[in-house]
Structure formats: structure tokens, C-alpha cells
Amino acid sequence: MRHFAHLAPAERNALFHREPGAFDAGSPLPVLATALGATLYSPATRPALARDVVKQADRGVVSMVLCLEDSIDDADVAAAEDNLVRQFAELDALAAARGERGLPLLFVRVRTPEQITGLVRRLGRGVRLLTGFVLPKFTEERGLAFLEALTAAENACGHRLLAMPVLESPELLHLETRTDTLAGIARAVGKYRDRVLALRLGVTDFCSAYGLRRAPDMTAYDVQIVASVIADVVNVLGRADGSGFTVTGPVWEYFRQHERMFKPQLRRSPFAGPAEALRSALIAHDMDGLLREIELDRANGLLGKTCIHPSHVAPVHALSVVSHEEYSDAADILRPGHDGGGVLRSAYTNKMNEVKPHRAWAERTLLRAEVFGVAREDVSFVELLAASVRTA
């Protein structure tokens, strides 16, 4: 699979200086973690789940979580498990008919470790369509049992299974237990580094612990208690020295128009001309707040995003494409012969590129370029978003 594969070849050629590369569930973990993009959640109780997965794949979704946890009622768990088994059998047939078009990376969010081994056993042949499991409320004490179950399930079925722990527990939020909890999480995921694809942030649970809910014109970074946890998670678990993991951005909860208290956050100038209608539509559906939060995610060391509505996917992917300027700077920094350091003037003549301090940024940028592509010099996220919205 590849990002923006739902666009026509001529349109991709017009948008990209370097088109997105192909990847699959067997790709190296750094590539796969970067490629997750907008991970769309869906309750496992949906009766047409298999066809929903195919429909979203055709709209550009490359990763999905089928949820057995918070998105469904406690009384529906057994029925949801039965539904998942049926839907994977249907997906197996649909995947064969789709050929190279393929399916998204599929994960199941479980409640207990026992669900991992039980589902893998029941899925049978359909397990080959499963990339892994999302592990809720992850701490060292609770998480090791999930990781051990995942290892046992992989050994039993002979198919690689990956884990995405969700960091959302009160122990991580509360100041007096945060340091020890982070250290324990680091030990647990470090022990299973070859199985942990990415760490996901459960910001809704963080807010719940204090009876908070951010408004659609505010980002997670405007809620200071949440912002402080994100900073500490990245500090301990998102380092660029080889010890860190990909940490994904928090969910954006809104997808319908609400009464506004503050001005829209999208400037008019990038949307001048034909794209003005797109700007109005984004504002009307609270997408300006989402776009701002995606940018703040990137600035704070997060990559990709949890999504609960298909309309959120295109903005996340459009803003994940590497700009021509970013690509130019990163390529210059990593050019052979610059290993000794020094300062280079950007080819865009608007900044300095300091080889040693900017090296980790450049490596991450080129990895993102590998899976999301590089925009042409005259193409901005507005054109990328407009093209994705037209085909959604």
C-alpha cells in the first residue's frame, strides 16, 4: 500500500516532487510507525465492518483500529468478538478480490490479555490480515501481561503481531506517580522493542480524570495539565538517540459545526482564490482547530494521529507530506561530506542549517518523505488537502 494511492496517477504527478513509497505490514518498524498516519478507530460491533474497512481503504485510510474497549458497551463484548471473527472471514475474501489494492493495517483494541490469544486462535486464516493489537491503559504492571500474551499468540499462529500501547492511565497523569510510571513503561516497552510499533496517547482519559473536555476551538496543548503529560512522555519515550519510540498525536473529538467563541484559526492567504470554499468548509466543521493541533503535534515530537471520523484523515495526511523546502534542507544536512558538522545556508536562503544539531530532524524528515512523499515546490498542504477531499 502507499499514501495517496486513491488519487489518479496524473494528479499525484502534479502534486509530488517525489511520490509516496510503498510499504506493508512486513516493513521495518521505523517505516511502518511513520506510515501509520491517521489511524481511524471503529467500534468492533459494526455489522458491515468488513465493507467499511474496504470503503475507507479506497478513501486513503492506511491504518485502522477495530475497538473492543471504550467505544462499546461492556455488555456487548462477547457479541463484538463474534462479529470480529465473522468480519475477518469476509475481509479475507474481499482482500483476495482486491489484489494489489490491499487493505489498511488492521489492529484490534482489546480489554484483557486473554482476548489477544483467544482472538488469534479464533481468527484462523484471517489472522494474516491482522497487524497487531492496541493495548489499553498501559503501565509496566498491567502492560507486561499484554505483551506476553501477544508474544504467545504470535508464536502460536506464526504471523508477526505488533503492539501499540495506549498511555492513558491516572498514574501517568498524576504528578506524584508520573516519573515512576514513565520509567516503568520505558522498561516494559524497551524489553519488547521489536514488537512495539508506536505509543498512543489517550488524552480523553487524561481530561476525564479532572472532569475536563477541550472545546473545538482549543487544542490539547491549550489544556495545560494535558500538555505537561505530553511533554513528559516525549521527554522519556520519544528521544531521537535510538532509545525512543514513535508517539502518536491525541484524538480530535469534533466533526460537526459548533457555536464559536473565538475567531477561526485559518488565515485567508493560503486559501486565496478557488480554495476559499475549502477554507469555509474546514471552519464550518471545526477543522481549523484540528489543523492547528496537527501542526502542534509535529512541533512537540508527535507523529500521526488517532482519528474517530473519516473526515479527519485527509487533513492529517496532507500535513504529513514533506514540503519541498523541508526536503531540500534535510537532504543538504545529510549530504555526504557534511559528517564533521558546520553551518550551511539553506537553499531557500531563509535559514541556517546546522549539521550536527539538525541531523536527527533531517533523518526523521527523510523517513517521512519516504512514506508520505515530497510536495512539488509550488504545492502547499492546501492543494494536497483539496485533492484528497475531492476524492473522499
Please write the tens of the pLDDT for every residue from 209-222: 899 988 888 899 99
* pLDDT at position 260: 46
Check: CATH 3.40.50.720 for 21-320? no
| pLDDT for the residue numbered 214 | 85
**What is residue 272's predicted lDDT score, i.e. its pLDDT?**
54
For the chain, helix (H) and strand (E) counts, in that order, are 16, 12
Residues of the chain short of pLDDT 50, as ranges, are: 260-262, 283-284
pLDDT attached to residue 217: 81
Task: Specify the pLDDT at position 218.
Answer: 87
Give the amino acid at 306: T
Helix (H) or strand (E) holding 164: strand 162-167
What residue spans in the chain does CATH classification 3.20.20.60 cover?
Answer: 21-320
Contacts 24+ apart (CB under 8 A), 32-35: 32/105, 32/162, 32/197, 33/197, 33/198, 33/245, 33/246, 33/303, 33/304, 34/246, 34/303, 34/304, 34/367, 34/368, 34/370, 34/371, 34/372, 35/3, 35/62, 35/63, 35/371, 35/372
